[in-house]
Amino acid sequence: MLEHDSNFLVETFKQYYFDHFNLIHVPDRSSEREFGYKKFNSGMIRHISLKTDKDLRLMLMTNVPSDVFCSNAYYSFPNLSMGEKDWKEADLIFDIDAKDLNLSCRKEHTCIKCLSCNEVSLIQDICPKCKSNKLDFVSLPCQNCISSLKKETLNLIKILTTDLQIRRENILVSFSGNDGFHLYVANSAYNTLGSKERSDLSDYIMFRRAIPEAFGFKKANPSRSLFPELVESGWRGRVAADLFGSKSNRSKGVTKIISDGYYAYRQRLEEMGKNSIGIRIDPNVTVDIHRIFRLEGSLNSKSGLAKLVCENIEKFSPYTDACLINDKPVEVLAKCPIAFRLKNKKFGPYINESVSVPKFTAAYMICKGIANLA
């Protein structure tokens, strides 16, 4: 990032943290958690111990980080090296990101930035200016992305509360500050699970590695009565709904499954997990019991938007509610061939042109790499 752009973001982020101290808090059991941060054009600094909001705010104003993180894990000695921390337990974390939903609209609001010449253009295989294939993909999610993310998040909550018997009040939902949602499960029986067990849990939630025997198909003499019914709970009921659609179609559907054979059924179950009934979380996030996650209330350097708790996810509007930088006019050289919306205002497309935009828009575009200060 160019120095004058990073200086602009440092000033902007510092002002945000000064104006919005009320959003920044250390989480419960803060003395057992590891904190960390990144600065613009710099690497990660972690193994930090913070005990109070005052400690956190002092760190923010002294260092003006681009990103602030906190562990989901609890340690005896959070400020020591990883091998000496003495891990106790960790909250369950789930990450649902727009890029993992494979939405057809994504191509319409994604552009490319050439890593060789910095040209920004509509999505294609090579840079139209220098013909390089070293490209970065920049997505500006649309309302369909947000609606789909919310639906996926609500589906995950349903599985957590019904299948895993997790109390709804123990599930915290946050907008990630970019193009996804995070779910935190605290104070549950799953806190003491290790990485292997969390991997198994991720497979269950994503409906991965499902075997035909669990859903009615025995290799020798398959019985029609063993196939799932729509009225069943859990995955059997969801599989039946996806396979048959209605109770009246079950008999015909079972006949076709048996006719197609065991291996075709297994392939069908795999496809269902990937494309329809499986919850599309990032499993790498869930299994990592030492990861540090973006802190609620902090800004995301990929967008300039805030990571915020969603009290009501269905009413939450990320590109309005999490857009908290002020609207002071800023001149930028914009290189954005697609339109986007922030605070219910449309911006772009811009083709290498100098424009005056609100400060929150300038920060968003600079963070995305599709604008520079003019």
* Catalytic residue ranges: 95, 97, 282
Edge-to-edge strand ranges of the sheet holding 120-122 = 120-122, 110-114, 135-139
**C-alpha closest to that of 37 among 300, 369, 283, 305:** 300
Neighbours of 43 (CB within 10 A): 7
3-class DSSP state of 348: coil
Three-state secondary structure call for residue 373: strand
Strand partners, 69: 36, 294
Please state, in angstroms and rounded to a whole number, the distance separating the CA atoms of residues 234 and 167.
17
Q: In this structure, are residues 8 and 51 in contact, taking their beta carbons and an 8 Å threshold?
A: no
From CA 183, how far away is CA 159, in angstroms rounded?
13
Helix, strand, coil percentages, rounded to 5, for the chain: 40, 20, 40
Backbone phi, psi, residue 2, to 5° = -60, 150
Give the Cα-Cα-Cα angle 159, 161, 162 (nearest 5 degrees): 65
Cα 57 to its chain centre, rounded Å, is 25
Letter for the amino acid at 167?
R
350, 111 contact by CB (below 8 A): no
What is the gyration radius of the CA atoms in the chain, in angstroms?
A: 23
Q: Rounded to the nearest 5°, which phi and psi values hold at 44?
A: -80, 140
Please list the alpha-helical segments (H only) found in 194-291: 195-206, 234-244, 250-260, 262-275, 283-287
